[in-house]
Amino acid sequence: MSNSVLMQEITWPEFETKTKARAPFFLPVGATEQHGPHLPLGTDVFLPTHMAKEVAKRIGGVVAPTIPYGYKSQPRSGGGQAFPGTTSLAANTLTLVVCDVLHDLALHGVRRFVVVNGHVENAWPIIEGIDLALREMRRDGIADAEILRLEYWDFIKPETLDRLFPEGYPGIDLEHAALIETSLMLLIRPDLVDVPKTPTHGHAEFSAYDRYPVRPGLVPATGVLARATGASAEKGEWLATDHIEGITAAIRKEFDL
């Protein structure tokens, strides 16, 4: 009997036991996207997967394999598609992938789902995927499925943000590859953080609208949209504690665990 919370590491009888116990199944949805010269392309995969695993350990859940590609990177929240290595899906493709995974898990007995988003641009394609999956489930006679969708960064406590940003929080869009993500990566995968290459420039300056095609020079050349200096594993621990405790509490409340 495996003690792993990862779906790919358990057997089918163990999977079936979990579904009969109505265990929550987590589906992290990430991205393969540039995160500056100091963080790996898989940052948006590592972070939601870590949060899902830690919460699953606390509530007896299972973490399905993370979807590693997300919706197209946007200049004002992710730097954009022009950076080498950023490999994305069309919105409709991501929607259908989310739908198919949730629907297939439901056909195998899963009834409680937690979709954990790790990439700002994924939000609406995920919502559409959930909506379509529920329609598919109802068509197949599955009427008791429950799905929670969340962005892990929404669980940062105000007092933690005050500690991290005494001069004011720039917002999650500008935090791409900046203090929050760098601190979390220093906590969970320090081997993948090239600290000496951390950019030292300040916040990017954007208009309140988008223009197509994107003007050259709109995004900082580093791909980092806000201050990344000052990141540390200690700050990552503050953040991870908020994320894990907040998500755990929400799931316990919604699923009566």
pLDDT, tens digit (0-9, with 9 covering 90-100), for 185-218 = 999 999 999 999 999 998 899 999 999 999 888 9
Q: Would you state the pLDDT for residue 105?
A: 98
CA quadruple 166, 169, 170, 173: dihedral positive or negative? positive
254 is catalytic: no
Residues 6+ apart with CB under 8 A from 114: 24, 25, 26, 27, 52, 55, 61, 147, 148, 149, 150, 247, 251
Catalytic (active site) residue 167: no
Q: Are 122 and 31 in contact (CB under 8 A)?
A: yes
Which of 35, 38, 50, 243 does the annotation list as catalytic? 35
Based on the residue annotation, tell me whether 151 is a catalytic residue of this protein.
no
- Confirm whether 2 is domain-assigned: no
Q: Is the pLDDT of residue 224 over 90?
A: yes
Catalytic residue among 54, 151, 175, 181, which? 181
Q: What is the structure's pLDDT at 2?
A: 76
Which of the residues 38, 50, 119, 243 is marked catalytic? 119
Residue 44 appears among annotated catalytic residues: yes
Residue 89 near residue 70 (C-beta atoms within 8 A): yes
Q: 1 in a domain, yes or no?
A: no
Task: Find the CATH number of the domain harbouring 240.
Answer: 3.40.50.10310
pLDDT 10s digits, 134-160:
999 999 999 999 999 999 999 999 999
Residue tagged active-site, from 38, 103, 176, 243: 176
The count of domains in the chain is 1
Query: Active-site residue among 38, 50, 54, 121?
Result: 121
Q: Is residue 127 part of a domain?
A: yes
DSSP 132-183: HHHHHHHHTT----EEEEEEGGGG--HHHHHHH-TT----TTTTTTSHHHHH
Average pLDDT, the chain: 96
The boundaries of the domain holding residue 226 are 7-255
pTM of the model: 0.96
| 181 part of the active site | yes
Identify whether 159 is part of a domain.
yes
What is the pLDDT at residue 66? 98
Mean pLDDT in residue range 83-100: 98
137 contacts: CB under 8 Å, gap ≥ 6: 102, 103, 106, 143, 145
Rounded Cα gap, residues 55 and 148, in angstroms: 14
pLDDT band at residue 1 using 50, 70 and 90 as cut-offs: low
Query: Residues 33, 54, 151, 242: which is the catalytic one?
Result: 33
Using alpha carbons, list the distances in angstroms from residue 115 to 111, 123, 151, 155, 157.
13, 10, 9, 15, 21
Q: How far apart are CA 180 and CA 38, in angstroms?
A: 13
Residues 6+ apart with CB under 8 A from 127: 149
Clarify whether 54 is annotated catalytic.
Answer: no
Interatomic CA distance for residues 83 and 165, integer angstroms: 28
Strand partners, 116: 28, 150
Q: Is the pLDDT of residue 254 over 90?
A: yes
| N residues, the chain | 257
3-class secondary-structure state, position 74: coil
